[in-house]
Structure 1
Amino acid sequence: MTTDTPTSADTFLLGGDLRINRLGFGAMRLAANSLHGPPRDPATGIAVLRRAVELGVDHIDTAGFYGRGTVHAHELIREALAPYPAGLVIATKVGPLRDATGMPSGEATADQLRGLVEEDLRRLGLDRLDLVYLRVGGLGPVGGTSIARRFEALAALRAEGLIRHLGVSNVDPAQYAEASAIAPVVAVQNHFHLQYRDDTELLARCAETGTGYVPFFPLGGGTRPIDPERYRRVAARHGATPAQVALAWLLAVSPVLLAIPGTGSPEHLAENMAAANLRLTAQDLTDLTESNVTG
């Protein structure tokens, strides 16, 4: 694999005071491979988390609704890593509520958000959450509604000291602007990858303001997964895998982009983390971009 020495470009100053590596870890697949899949062995999830930190992960993204059966990401994180190492940033999301089938299709009101934040604090074993995203819209489409009252509720919890920094997730530019007028937004978490670039406008806005941009489904997922054939020629040049190329492209596209690939497999974890050292050339980036359709 083509690599070079890591530099300051490999890190990001989140919220002006939390220096983190730009390649982190997403916890959604720790408990199950999907929100509706069978639960995984919790011992494997614990092993993956501990290995992730050993490999340099200092930013873990989780949510209270990441779980299946009796296996839940929050509890795995606490069991694996508490007492937490210095410098580890744990981000969580509040807003979605599970329905009778266990899917997070409902949406909390402003008055319910305090309870969700306090529950996350208890389950993670923390006195303050580093970063809390208001996840908007449940499983519905982005945009189309005001988020002011709910974001104001989280801003009040930040003022109380229960939350260090705030973010928004699954939002459009208008919702991002609405939240930013209420309290500082240090990160946006939206759907984005090489073959799903509908959010280019908001990513550019984040770059202008120094706001972290954290794509979910960084390796595809959702309704528009990546096509490995598009990545194989570039991967072959570097002795890498298509998934590593997909992650390296994300890190190359903007200095504010923070990738959080998730996995419940130790083998996939090692593969994902190695992508931090893959340096794509200008020709690689041109080939990848020209072979894909934006939006």
Structure 2
Amino acid sequence: MTTVNAAQSGRFRIGGAFEVNRLGFGAMRIVGRGVWGPSADRAEALKTLRRLPDLGVDFIDTADSYGPNFSEELIREAIAPYGKIHVGTKGGLARTGPNIWIPLGRPEYLIQQAHTSRWRLGVEIIDLWQLHRIDSKVPAKEQFDAIATLIKDKVIRCAGLSEVSVAEIEAAGKVFPVAAVQNRYNLTDRTSEAALDHCAKHGIGFIPWFPLNAGELTKEGAALDAIARKHKATPGQIALAWLLKRSPVMLPIPGTGKAAHLEENVGAASIKLSDDEFATLDRAGRGG
């Protein structure tokens, strides 16, 4: 039996509704290049997904736009019935080609997409559904009202937002309980620091996307490289360990389409950084 287990990352209760191990899995990379079309290695993608329960990963983050549709369909094929695994998905983007993401927040579209995600995933109710982007062409209140309707109609259990400011989180919170926020955040990108602090204050789960970007810090002799060598770990594992230590509401979702890489990512859950190591990385990440 493997000793690598996401349970070592600690637990977090999302929206007061369900608990997950804090280190989850992002399912964007189990589809084709440009997040478009089916996976080039379907067998490996399925193998990766089927390893999740063995490694204690019980939270999967996906979206209707990953593929589109292919990620949700593959997750159902690989894992359903889900047992202890909770799947969060997102809606609100249209796809017209590789690497093309178009916000589409009309209420009828959001409601339609939540229903179709539910059917593709094969669940009666989606544990967590997040608005992938607030569409600037549609009044935000109309988008939030659609989400409230989805909760009332028991299509989704909890709802969240992605790439939002504190003001937007507060505005949405007047319409429905915000259970999670998914913003870009990593060692070198702290643009969402205020949003993270707000989430921590209010018990909102913070899901950092692009969690492994560390840029220059991975160079030989740099802070991340030095600390990784000390822990006999990879720079990526240390970057994830730093995120986990940063806040108790932090829910990193490193993604991969390779089973070996998945196991490496989950290995970060067992790495405990000292306060000095955390501070050193924090300063380096800020460029100070």
Tell whether the structures are fold-level matches, with TM greater than 0.5. yes
Q: Which runs of 5+ in 1 are unaligned?
A: none
User: Normalized against structure 1, the TM-score is what?
Assistant: 0.88
Structure 1 pair 43–18 and aligned structure 2 pair: CA distance change class (3 A): same
Q: Match of 2:142?
A: 149
Q: Match of 1:94?
A: 91
Are the counterparts in 2 of residues 219 and 226 from structure 1 also a CA contact under 8 Å? no
Are the counterparts in 2 of residues 248 and 280 from structure 1 also a CA contact under 8 Å? yes
The alignment yields a C-alpha RMSD, in angstroms, of 2.5
Map of 1:1-295 to 2, 5 A cutoff?
10-32=10-32, 34-35=34-35, 39-67=39-67, 72-85=70-83, 87-99=84-96, 103-137=100-134, 147-220=140-213, 225=215, 227-229=217-219, 230=222, 231-293=224-286
> Structure 2 counterpart of 1:26, which letter?
G
Structure 1 pair 244–226 and aligned structure 2 pair: CA distance change class (3 A): farther
Question: SS where residue 91 of structure 1 aligns?
Answer: strand
> Structure 2 counterpart of 1:150, which letter?
Q
Q: Which runs of 5+ in 2 are unaligned?
A: none
Distance 1:225 1:65 in 2: 27
Question: SS where residue 151 of structure 1 aligns?
Answer: helix
Q: Deviations over 1:156-211 (max 9, x none)?
A: 11101111001011111111111011110010000000100111111111111000
Distance 1:36 1:118 in 2: 21
Flag as ranges the 4+ runs of structure 1 deviating above 6 A: 5-9
User: Normalized against structure 2, the TM-score is what?
Assistant: 0.90
Question: SS where residue 19 of structure 2 aligns?
Answer: strand
Are the counterparts in 2 of residues 36 and 103 from structure 1 also a CA contact under 8 Å? no
Are the counterparts in 1 of residues 27 and 256 from structure 2 also a CA contact under 8 Å? yes
Distance 1:104 1:54 in 2: 33
Give aligned pairs, total: 282
Q: Deviations over 1:78-124 (max 9, x none)?
A: 00011111x21110001001125572224231121111011101111
Are the counterparts in 2 of residues 195 and 226 from structure 1 also a CA contact under 8 Å? no
Are the counterparts in 2 of residues 97 and 108 from structure 1 also a CA contact under 8 Å? no
Identical amino acids, percent of aligned pairs: 38
